[in-house]
């Protein structure tokens, strides 16, 4: 859950330049499967979309202010983005401009923060001037 708190901080700090969303995919450590001893919740493997939606409600409580959407039961988002267990992305104009490593080892919130900081700097250096006549 520490990662979620760090993610929430980045979301809040950059709300003026970036929209954020959490995509809840299949449960990495279901209580009836590969159980994690430090899991804060006991969530069984999703058998239907309703199970996944209910589990996603817990995720929404952990990242208030950030929309949470749910992957299909076919795991199409997970397959398309290679997100299992967790992964950070930045998309700009429909293109991936930042792809973090696969979590948990490759999940580096500092890289995401650095990318957004650099992007903020480029926005500040923009020489675009609009004159209304």
- DSSP annotation of 75 reads -
For 6-37, b where at least 16 C-beta lie within 10 A, e where not — what string? ebbebbeebeeebebebbbbbbebbeeeeeee
pLDDT recorded at residue 39: 64
Global pTM value:
0.78
Strands (E), 12-117: 22-24, 68-70, 89-92, 95-99
- Please report, for the domain that includes residue 125, its CATH number: 3.40.30.10
Cα(first)–Cα(last) distance of the chain, in Å?
52
pLDDT in tens, 58-117: 888 888 888 999 999 999 998 998 877 788 999 988 899 999 998 878 889 999 999 999
User: Mean pLDDT in the chain?
Assistant: 84
Total structural domains within the chain: 1
Considering only residues 31 and 78, tell me which one the structure prediction assigns the higher pLDDT: 78
- The whole-number pLDDT of residue 108 equals 92
Which domain, by its residues, includes 26?
Answer: 2-131
User: What whole-number distance in Å separates Cα of residue 92 and Cα of residue 89?
Assistant: 10
Beta bridge partner(s), residue 70? 24
């Amino acid at each position: 859950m520490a990662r979620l708190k760090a993610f929430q901080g980045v979301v809040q700090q950059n709300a003026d330049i970036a929209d954020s969303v959490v995509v809840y995919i299949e449960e990495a450590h279901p209580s009836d499967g590969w159980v994690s001893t430090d899991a804060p919740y006991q969530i069984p493997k999703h058998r239907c979309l309703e199970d996944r939606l209910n589990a996603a409600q817990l995720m929404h409580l952990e990242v208030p202010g950030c929309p949470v959407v749910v992957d299909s039961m076919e795991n199409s988002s997970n397959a398309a983005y290679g997100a299992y267990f967790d992964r950070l992305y930045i998309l700009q104009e429909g293109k991936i401009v930042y792809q973090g490593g696969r979590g948990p080892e490759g999940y580096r919130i500092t890289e995401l923060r650095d990318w957004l900081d650099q992007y903020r700097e480029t926005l500040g250096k923009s020489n675009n001037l609009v004159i209304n006549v």
